[in-house]
């Protein structure tokens, strides 16, 4: 190998590395072991995890425990689809291109928007790209960001803003966990590129999108909505309520939780913003013989052609996960999607009713909810969650893990997030599971352990 690269010896090979940063002694590593031993060690480590399938899960906060139909894996595991990448040639792989086109169409139908891209890495990436787009479109340097947006999405947006996006200005929450409309009006100004809200928001509260759109548009700003696509079987499409850009995470449709990933971000925009849309875009056309075909279109927006002058630094997507979302949506159909959403909404309402009947438990999220809500517990939520794991329950997400993201923006009267628990209820949860969970939680809150309560 040294001869092939024209190096005299190892020192010559690494001559380009300055001596002061070169390590000449061996790394302090243990002796090597066989593949059999490595496999056994990894199995022991993996055995310390408990699969969510063996527990009754109320986890949410962006990744949800929904049923994935067998047809999804049957389709996405086919060899012609089993890749996360789109072809760079504008006319190759018609099957893959058609599946992406159908995904884009489904996203537009759900969101009420005009144009969607081929997907993005996840919901947080999609939001940061939307913020960058808004800044480029309006030539303004700030976004009014609701504290009801997922805290991890806000972190991704802030990371992008540090380099080249509009800087976020955080807007607080009112009682009930929705965005404080008065605080938003005060935050929006001449340099506001966009108002950013989530629907339903991180705490499960439903936002007043028409009013938020009016506030944004009156200031010449765009409205960016982070929308749960599964909820759009029940809720009005954001595009019909004034949204200019709709983004989100579609993991709940077609993908398992899988330790939190991979996700699949989506992004849809009003037609006037189409040429600023990041990522791949598949269009439908006809060939010389009049046959329908699919092509990658408007590629001059993209990084692989325009480099630093591209509309975005995004140069790939999650096409395989997007296909899973498309297959799941197709399997559900126009009747199945709202039916699935109704199951979630009814079960969430039932669990919340049962929880609020327990001593010391108070509502954090108020008003109707879709699948997720938060409650105040009389004990630290993290301790409660840990106590319920041995009893077979993943009780939800203690919001205190995100406490640093809510300094100064909590609703009036909320001094701490220590007792706030975020719970999600999917169609997989049965009434018997919910009832048993409430009994177990009651026992833990009473200090009796997760027993008969």
Q: DSSP states of 150-200 as a string? A: -HHHHHHHHHHHHHTSPEEEEE-B-TTSSB-HHHHHHH--TTEEEEEEEES
Q: Output the average pLDDT for the chain.
A: 92
pLDDT of residue 83: 67
Pick from 48-62, 74-88, 162-176, 250-264: least confident: 74-88
Angle 127-133-139 from CA coordinates, rounded to 5°: 130
| Residue 41, both tokens | 């060690």
**How are beta strands 115-116 and 265-269 bridged, if at all?**
antiparallel
163 Rama sector, left if φ>0, alpha if ψ -120 to 50, beta otherwise: alpha
Render pLDDT for 370-397 as a digit per residue (tens, 0 to 9).
Answer: 999 999 999 999 999 999 999 999 999 9
pLDDT of residue 87: 65
Q: Where are the domains of the chain?
A: 54-64+334-442, 70-326
Residue 157 and residue 146 in contact, taking contact as beta carbons nearer than 8 Å = no
DSSP 311: S
Residue 193 and residue 222 in contact, taking contact as beta carbons nearer than 8 Å = yes
CATH topology of domain 70-326: 3.40.640
Topology match between the domains 54-64+334-442 and 70-326: no
Question: What mean pLDDT is predicted for residues 181-185?
Answer: 96
Confidence of residue 316 (pLDDT cuts 50, 70, 90): low
Render pLDDT for 210-224 as a digit per residue (tens, 0 to 9).
Answer: 999 999 999 999 999
- Beta carbons within 10 angstroms of residue 204's beta carbon: 27
| Residue 166, both tokens | 């509009």
DSSP 21: G
The answer for residues whose C-beta is within 8 angstroms of residue 389's C-beta and 6 or more apart is 50, 55, 395
Pick from 249-253, 255-259, 298-302, 434-438: least confident: 298-302
Which CATH number describes the domain made up of 54-64+334-442?
3.90.1150.10
């Amino acid at each position: 190998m040294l001869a092939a690269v024209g190096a005299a010896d190892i020192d010559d090979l690494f001559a380009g590395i300055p001596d002061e940063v070169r390590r000449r002694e061996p790394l302090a590593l243990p002796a090597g072991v066989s593949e059999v031993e490595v496999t056994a060690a990894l199995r022991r480590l993996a055995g310390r995890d408990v699969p969510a399938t063996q527990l009754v899960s109320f986890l949410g906060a962006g990744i949800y425990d929904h049923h994935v139909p067998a047809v999804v894996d049957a389709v996405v595991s086919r060899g012609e689809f089993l890749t996360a990448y789109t072809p760079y040639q504008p006319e190759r792989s018609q099957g893959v291109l058609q599946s992406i086109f159908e995904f884009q169409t489904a996203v537009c139908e759900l969101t009420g928007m005009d144009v969607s891209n081929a997907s993005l890495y996840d919901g947080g990436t999609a939001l940061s790209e939307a913020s960058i787009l808004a800044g480029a479109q309006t030539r303004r340097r700030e976004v009014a960001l609701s504290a009801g947006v997922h805290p991890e999405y806000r972190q991704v947006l802030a990371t992008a803003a540090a380099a080249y996006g509009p800087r976020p200005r955080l807007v607080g929450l009112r009682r009930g966990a929705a965005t404080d409309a008065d605080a938003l009006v005060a935050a929006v100004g001449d340099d506001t590129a966009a108002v950013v809200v989530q629907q339903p928001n991180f705490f499960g509260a439903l936002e007043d999108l028409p009013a938020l759109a009016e506030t944004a548009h009156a200031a010449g700003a765009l409205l960016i909505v982070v929308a749960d696509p599964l909820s759009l079987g029940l809720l009005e499409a954001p595009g019909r309520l004034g949204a200019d850009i709709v983004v989100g995470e579609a993991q709940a449709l077609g993908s398992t939780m899988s330790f939190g990933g991979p996700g699949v971000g989506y992004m849809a925009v009003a037609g006037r913003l189409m040429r600023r849309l990041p990522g791949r875009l598949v269009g439908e056309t006809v060939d010389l013989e009049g046959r329908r075909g699919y092509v990658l279109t408007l590629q001059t927006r993209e990084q692989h052609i325009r480099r630093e002058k591209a509309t975005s630094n995004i140069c790939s997507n999650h096409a395989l996960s997007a296909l899973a979302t498309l297959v799941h949506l197709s399997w559900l159909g126009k009747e199945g999607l709202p039916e699935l959403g109704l199951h979630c909404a009814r079960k969430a309402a039932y669990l919340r009713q049962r929880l609020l009947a327990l001593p010391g438990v108070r509502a954090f999220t108020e008003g109707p909810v879709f699948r997720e809500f938060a409650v105040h517990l009389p004990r630290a939520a993290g301790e409660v969650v840990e106590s319920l794991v041995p009893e077979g329950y993943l009780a939800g997400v203690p919001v205190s893990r995100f406490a640093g993201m809510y300094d100064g923006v909590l609703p009036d009267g909320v001094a701490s997030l220590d007792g706030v628990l975020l719970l999600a209820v999917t169609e997989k949860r049965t009434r018997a599971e919910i009832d048993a969970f409430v009994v177990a939680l009651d026992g833990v809150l009473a200090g009796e352990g997760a027993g008969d309560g």
